[in-house]
Amino acid sequence: MRERQGLTRAYGMLALAWALLIVLQVFFAGLGIFGASGYATHRAFGNILHGLTAILLILAIIGPRTSRDIGMAAALVIVVTIQIGIVGARDDAPGLAALHPVLALVAMGLAAHMGMHALRAGRRPDRVAAPAG
């Protein structure tokens, strides 16, 4: 039971860290947009973030093991996979490719929710309150 709680905590912490790393990813995109560098760092870091979504899914399966946590982790993998894939549509369907940053925001919100949910569910009160009376 204690091992499972540790995995649930790791899942929650990684999900929150993932959400925060999106801020760094946006910075890397900004470097490319404003010409300070190319998009290579943004692309490489995006691939790392995509890999971390797979780790989150594995942790959801072996840690919390609830259908809600597994579903949210699977949804994160799917959203990020679609988000990465639509970049290739920028020449043929720029309106579709423009959803790339929007899906990043969706993924960030989902990851933050995953983390807060897991960490909140993993907390246990140190003691039970005495009945009033």
- Please choose, from the candidates 122, 125, 126, the residue with its C-alpha nearest in 3D space to the C-alpha of residue 8: 122
pLDDT at residue 1, as a whole number: 76
54's CB contacts (< 8 A; 6+ apart) are 77
pLDDT at residue 2, as a whole number: 87
CA dihedral 89, 91, 92, 97 (to 10 degrees): 40
How far is C-alpha 33 from the chain's CA centre? 23
- Please choose, from the candidates 111, 106, 35, 30, the residue with its C-alpha nearest in 3D space to the C-alpha of residue 69: 111
Average pLDDT over residues 97-108: 98
Average pLDDT over residues 104-120: 97
Res. 131 pLDDT band, cuts 50 70 90: low
Paired tokens of 34: 């404003």
- Which residue is it, tokens 């093991």? 65
Paired tokens of 81: 């996979």
Instruction: Say if CB 76 and CB 110 are below 8 A apart.
Output: yes
Mean pLDDT estimate for the chain: 92
pTM of the model: 0.89
**64 burial level (CB within 10 Å; 0-12, 13-18, 19+):** buried
